Amino acid sequence: MKSVKGPAIFLAQFVNDEPPFNDIVAICKWAKSLGYKGVQIPTWEPRLIDLEKVANSKTYAEEYKGRIEATGVQITELSTHLQGQLVAVHPAYDVMFDNFAPEEVHGKPKERQKWAANQLKFAAKASANLGLDAHASFSGALMWHTVYPWPQRPAGLVDDGFAELARLWKPILNEFDEHGVDVCYELHPGEDLHDGVTYERFLEATGNHRRARILYDPSHFLLQQMDYLAFIDIYKDYIEAFHVKDAEFNPTGRSGVYGGYQGWVDRPGRFRSIGDGQIDFQSIFTKLSQYGIDCWAVLEWECCIKHPEQGAEEGAQIIDDLIIRVTDKAFDDFAGAGSDESLNRRILGIDR
């Protein structure tokens, strides 16, 4: 068994133009002051990182890492959630997703996709230069508009969709493989990889690529009404990153899983600050520790009610309390009789 590492915090939801949230050193000092030991860095955020520079200069990467570690925290993973989303985009979403990319590729889907793929390849090099072996991202989606189909999906559409998704991702996964870094896909509604079945289909389509792994976020599974604890049992060998995010699902006679196009506050299923929702984190941390999954426990704040700074302040202590120092002893060791093969054979009735 191994202990989960942490607490850590994903910085994406906290960045803004006001100090200390507009500078990597300042925001890391803020995180440290709250009790965090690690930070997950959004690579699309120029106020926090120059991804290309970290990728192309080992010297700069070491200096960048050193400035962060001097604040008392360390980098857990880099994130390319926004760029990963753009690796695969159905035309229905082109306009909305253009904002995830530079203005010069807006309205140019092929150029945008090429930009996104290059960003992921930079992230592979940057992660290696920073001494990281796991990376957080999204898969993008070609099939999401068919998730609840009417009319029915044509035969073979899903197979073709996963084949194309794998075609787009395999060169990226190969780049990560070259640098010894795993891509941990956050399984998330809106992505073609949103549950265990879709992850398995993608894995098969990539030829079981060894770098295609999982970022475990139970909030997305609760809102899909999945068994998020059994998920750990099934996919324990693939989980290498962890977002600690709470959620609640309170269906009514008027609305359920799909939410009726309502805002987050009014949906039956909504994200909450850790400790304010329905997720059994104690059991999650127990299972992760039992299976020796020693990934970082990274707080992701997305609560529709509580202020992010309050969520961050409370979250550090909650995660710290949840982390289990795993035992190296059995509770009944005191009654053990040591190792004696002849005694064992007598107890088993052998050689009488």
Has residue 329 got a pLDDT over 90? no
Q: Which domain holds residue 72?
A: 5-348
pLDDT value, residue 303: 97
94 with 60: CB under 8 angstroms?
A: no
The reported pLDDT for the residue numbered 328 is 84
The mean pLDDT value of the chain amounts to 96
- Interval 171-178 mean pLDDT: 98
Q: Residue 351's pLDDT is what? A: 74
- Residue in 6, 85, 89, 83 with CA at minimum distance from that of residue 49: 83
Q: How confident is the model at residue 228 (pLDDT cuts 50, 70, 90)?
A: very high
Per-residue pLDDT at 3 exceeds 90 = yes
- Mean pLDDT computed over 161-165: 98
C-alpha span between 64 and 304 (Å, rounded): 33
Contact 247, 259 (CB under 8 A): no
Confidence of residue 341 (pLDDT cuts 50, 70, 90): confident
Give residue-wise pLDDT tens across range 42-90: 999 999 999 999 999 999 999 999 999 999 999 999 999 999 999 999 9
Separation CA 8–CA 32 (nearest Å): 9
CATH number for position 313: 3.20.20.150
Q: Which residues contact 7 (CB under 8 A, 6 or more apart)?
A: 35, 36, 37, 38, 244, 297, 299, 315, 316, 319, 320, 323
Say how many domains are in the chain: 1
Q: Is the pLDDT of residue 1 over 80?
A: yes
First to last CA, the chain: 38
pLDDT > 80? residue 335 = no
